[in-house]
Amino acid sequence: MTSLAGGCRSFGAPVAPLCTLASLHSYSLYNHHSKNTLPSLSLISNTTTFRFQFSNPEAAFISTSSSSRFSDYDRLLPCPPYKNRPPRVEHLIVLEEGPVIDYISKVLELPPLFVADLIHFGAVHYALVSPKPPPTATAEQIRLFEEFTSPLILKKRASLKGKTLQNAQKTFRVTHADQFLEPGMYLRVYVHPRRFPRCYEIDWKSRIIAVTESYVVLDKPAGTSVGGTTNNIEETCVNFSTRALALATPLKTTHQIDNCTEGCVVLARTKEFCSDFQKKIREKEVMKLYLALSASPVPIGVVTHYMRPVSIAPKLVSEEFRKGWYLCQLEVLECKKVPWPDAVTKEKYSVEDCGWPLKDYAYECKINLLTGRTHQIRAQLAACGAPIVGDSMYMPAAIAEIENPGTNPFNKHKKQFNDEEDDESIAIAKWIEQHGKEPNVAIALQACQISWDDGNHIYKAGSPWWRRDI
């Protein structure tokens, strides 16, 4: 059996597997990332571990004895006994047939019930054929990949009949613990799925704003996911709202707001409403108002930026038009000076400090969102020098720009580059490094009102967390 494992970054696509295949031993490749450490690669056999750093490809392998890593796994449900395990993603090439639960349990030495929970969470994905190895793969790894994906081998697999190699490499969720595997299939296992422990702390019925025959409006709590993530489709607003209302048919997601944002979310009870509402959003017939508590004042009026067309966070925005970048517009309707949330309030709602130097006053802004981009309000306000309170991703970058104007290569203080393409790419990489991690729970941003059909349907959220104790 062969196991290929790699770490992945938060809010990004899974790291591509390094395809190492063997018929006599079990191997694991670990690729752990963090912002301040160099990525490393380990090959773990039954007896030894070999490690090297990608930054030094000439480095010799270092051998150390291996030990059992899987003795402390129990269950994922109903509530996590541990909340902060580091990301761990395993990439497996299947070399013997059998039920998926048995194969994963055997190869990764995980308890079968834990594997069953992972499948229930949607944390196990499969493809009929392994994706291609990345550029960092060795010549031997590439040779082995080509061997196992050779036309002669693939031709013998009845499950691939009529499929192109590209189609066979597409990944899907494993939905049943007894799903049958055949040699040559690929598995991606998120052993440490992202957790949302706040789901178990919320009185979900009290967060329901409205219930109709076609939809439900929820005042979403911060620190929760509307419809799930790549590796957790269990701990969601959709599931917990469905259960709170004892609905026979699960609710459906119509739109998203960030996990760290609270406020109005519309959940569909029928496929027809889901489709109709998403059409209204596309045709800009849905109006969304937000309350944002910023660290500095924001001018009244329309704020325009252009967002870099890259799916991963942080989202970078430019004040100047850039070809191919997405238009981002919001309208600041009000901006009033209010007290900065005190330490007790921030601790109660798990709001991070983020290092803003002046904490006497904040500025509550009412915002009409004119275009709906991921992280749009957060990125635009930070680019204006007015990051949202508690936003651990964008506030550090805003502070860096204030302390050293020109750090942001996309604003009015940007530096001029001699070799524009190369110098700008370096500046962008450095600018990305100034951003922090995604907030753990809450930031001071609320979707305070949603309406459609020219105001015939209007729903408002309750008081935002920074007002509740006043």
Q: Is 453 marked active-site?
A: no
Give the span between the Cα atoms of 154 and 249, in whole angstroms.
41
Instruction: Choose, from 117, 219, 258, 391, the residue flagged as catalytic.
Output: 258
How far is Cα 41 from Cα 130, in angstroms, rounded to an integer? 19
Is 199:240 a contact under the CB 8 Å cutoff?
A: yes
Strand segments, DSSP code E, in 174-318 are: 180-181, 186-190, 208-211, 215-220, 252-253, 262-268, 286-294, 301-307, 317-318
Q: Residue 214: which H helix or E strand, with range?
A: none
Q: How far apart are CA 167 and CA 171, in angstroms?
A: 9
Burial readout 41-80 (b: 16 or more C-beta within 10 A, e: otherwise) = bbbbeeeebeebeeeeeeeeeeeeeeeeeeeebeebeeeb
Alpha-carbon dihedral angle through residues 218, 119, 84, 80, given to the nearest 10 degrees: 70
3-state helix, strand, coil in the chain (%, to 5): 20, 25, 50
10 Å CB burial of residue 297 (0-12, 13-18, 19+) is middle
Helix or strand run (H / E) with residue 79: none
Cβ neighbours of residue 193 under 8 Å, at least 6 residues apart? Answer: 76, 118, 121, 123, 229, 231, 232
Q: Which residues are catalytic?
A: 258
